[in-house]
Structure 1
Amino acid sequence: MTLPTTPAAPQPAPEAALADLARLALQLGTATGLPAITLAVSPGVDVDPDVDPLVGVQETDCHPATVLHVDQALLYADPDSPAGRAAAGALAHEIVCAATPFTRVGVWLDRALPVLIVALAAGLGLAWPAWLAGLLVALVGLTLLGRAVVVGAREAFVDDVAANRLTTFGLDGDACITAMFDQHAATTTRAEQLLDLVQYGTPTITMRRRALSHARTQAGQSAA
């Protein structure tokens, strides 16, 4: 006996979804001044519409285009769903981030940190005077703190600008960035976020939420 089968629910055409993402990327890229953007869809056979959206950025020396690697699941996400809003938020964040250069202070701190760590390791191995080792420990700590402040300020700026850009293009920018926060929080543990804070200065999701809320409060006070 053959049992009747239930037809699968229709999914959005990936070509249309990719076209929508491409148009949004073009608008964001033009607004932020990027010379060119390339969207690259990650390969995959099993497409799960419930997979958390992922957007990665890659710079290349071969041509001036900023390459955005878009997870294939984005092509099947409803634009009005949390996954769809997170996709728009991640896309906007990465584009604005690619168009926002690091400050000279941030570059200097990134270069100084490994030198200080190597010097500290050498000092401990060669039994340098305690005061010198203590000085190096203090310098490493201050460098880590300074980098966290600089990177945190840059991430807060990027999140704020990305939300405003999306709002300009008719989307709920704050909802998109918040959905991106939610997606990131759901896929990374608190410990992983704290490790990124120490290693790279990347603020935790809680810190980024607080920064975006503070930016909105300041914007409201300025408007009043």
Structure 2
Amino acid sequence: MYKTKARPNKMDVAQLLDLEIQARRAFIDSDVTKEQDRPSKILKAYPCFGELDHLMDELRRVLNQGNSHFLTELKTRWGTFCERAQFYGVFKKLMRPPQLDKVKHSIAMMKALPEMFPSPMAPPKKLRHASEAVLHVLESAEDPNTFLQTRPLSSPVVIICETNCILAIGTMPVLIFPKEDIHESVMYLMACYYTFHLTYPKCIATLLSVVQTEVLLDAIHDRDMTTSYKKAMADWKKFISD
């Protein structure tokens, strides 16, 4: 396992992660530890996954290790998906036309996505909306750690602060990224689900399954397709083909 206190060279770490992927994925994918404890144990063994570059690179390894252009292609597909989803959201009266402020527009998009691709399961009572399973915008006097400690889900979430964003899993902050990169943060969340082998929360499972198949191009077996996923995909395909 990769574990060191010194800050290693990123390229050296990436090569090591490439070499030992089979053993690492066997360790991560095993059900030896409870799911809510898994991220902290993995980060203890592989602190490099607390860095965005390594986290996203692990998503590439899991889905398409041999394609060195995977992440570039992924960003392009996500951009195309968001452009279509913008029109879809307006069509379904869930969004207004695009705003000039890109950060505000991205936040509005992320809030609307769970309604565009709805799950039948309601979010936990403490969450005001299913989108809170994806992101939370801190109020002026709100502390991010206090929010995380009271959050009823152990899944990945993006916390939007005044000057930057925090990617967290459960009660644990994982990394900080610039607010202007919020438009890519759904991909960061997906990287967490894949890297740490986590289950989608039921209240946003349809949305994340759509992103999985439409953007990550990771197919879902017929027997695992839910009724809500099938309906969401049928409505989406009809809209983008018209």
TM-score band w.r.t. shorter chain: under 0.3
Please report the TM-score for the alignment, with normalisation by the length of structure 2: 0.24
Structure with more of its chain in helix, by fraction: 1
Please report the TM-score for the alignment, with normalisation by the length of structure 1: 0.26
Computing the radius of gyration from Cα coordinates, the structure with the larger value is 1
